[in-house]
Amino acid sequence: MLLAEVESALFCVFHKLGSLKSTHRGQSGHKRTTHLPTGFFTHDLCHSYQQGPDSPESPERIDAIEDRMIAMGLSRVVTVLPSAPASMEDVLRAHDKSYVQELEQASREAQRTGEKQISEDTFINALSFEAALKSAGAAIEAVRQVCAGTIRNAFACVRPPGHHAGRNFAHGFCLINSVACAALHALDVLGLKRVAIVDFDVHRADGTEDIIKGDDRIALFSLYQETAFPFGLQPAQASNIVNAPMPEGSDGADVLKVVNDVWIPRLLMFKPDLILVSAGFDAHRDEKQALFKLTEFDYSFMTIEVMRVARAVCGGRLVSILEGGYDIRSLARSAIAHITTLTRAA
């Protein structure tokens, strides 16, 4: 069977189940059972902002996902919702003020002088700061809508990615840490008590670690290729960070073992009020940035397992935010498998 036929078959199986009922809590905490859609958030600069010369972090990533959504009919299933750029108040919960000011100033100067390299792999230009604010804003609005009970779960299809951006550093194409901004908004503004972040990008979430370490309201669960970027990091010391470094060549069975044996028991013990997913799709076997061997089906299975935990502990409240994934074809297939799974009940 051709890959497109397999993908279509998966989509049909999921959606023959219909609009399934889900039990949710609004911000008041009261449970209610209703038919709710999956929200889809993006922004205009995803299609125009350029990271740097010949960078794999390009507008084609979002174009490929959205084109495949249309081809699969998935764009008729999700609910596309607007969002605004993140406020300075939201950004400064995650990042140092001096760092944010430097980013803003560098982006403003780039209007006159052209793009500037700010780390070994990351550039900033006239659109960079605005694009990063809009990506964080989309993640935050997705959290607000899910917590309000207007949508069941959500996918923020945004760029630039964010999980390598720390309190005062940028690299790995990341400037502002969208998932950290969203987690802290949920806690400090919406009044949630505990938020879990699940990160299955093939690269270690060093920026997210830097921001949330020691904050016991947030638990980070991350698996990644131990020999991949970022290099030379020490093991995380904070008790709220659960890292699972894995060897080159790890496949779906290896990853699912970590999910089932490590993530799920710890997630159930933590009992988050919301689960955020840093959804990187660069562990795919076709990806050139690393040496894992996952397929789009593995991403679907991981999503199912995390959704089951969300239904068990927080009324299904889950927001997924795009991180890495740079082989355009495998990124599109994997993201669609993930989004399709989100649109069905776990």
- Does the annotation count 164 as an active-site position? yes
CB atoms within 10 A of CB 31: 11
Alpha carbons 60 and 201: distance in angstroms, whole number: 19
What are the residues whose beta carbons fall under 8 Å from the beta carbon of 160, sequence distance 6 or more? 49, 51, 57, 128, 131, 132, 135, 173, 174, 175
Is the preceding peptide bond at 56 cis, omega within 30 degrees of 0?
A: no
Q: Would you state the structure tokens that stand for residue 37, as one six-digit string? A: 């859609």
Q: 158, 155, 154: which is closest to 324 by C-alpha? A: 158
Measured in degrees and rounded to the nearest 5, phi and psi for residue 40 equal -130, 125
Decide: helix, strand or coil at residue 174. strand
H or E element: which one contains 343? none
- Taking alpha carbons only, the member of 123, 133, 142, 221 closest to residue 176 is 133
Q: What are the start-end ranges of the H helices in 259-326?
A: 264-270, 296-314
**Does an H or E element contain 116, and which?**
strand 116-117
Among the listed residues 24, 43, 164, 185, the single catalytic one is: 164
Q: What's the half-sphere exposure (Cβ side, CA atoms, 13 Å) at 218?
A: 26
- Distance in angstroms (rounded) separating the CA atoms of residues 322 and 165: 14
Contact status, residue 38 vs residue 152, Cβ threshold 8 Å:
yes
Which region holds residue 316: left if phi is over 0, alpha if psi is between -120 and 50, else beta? left
- Residues noted as catalytic: 164
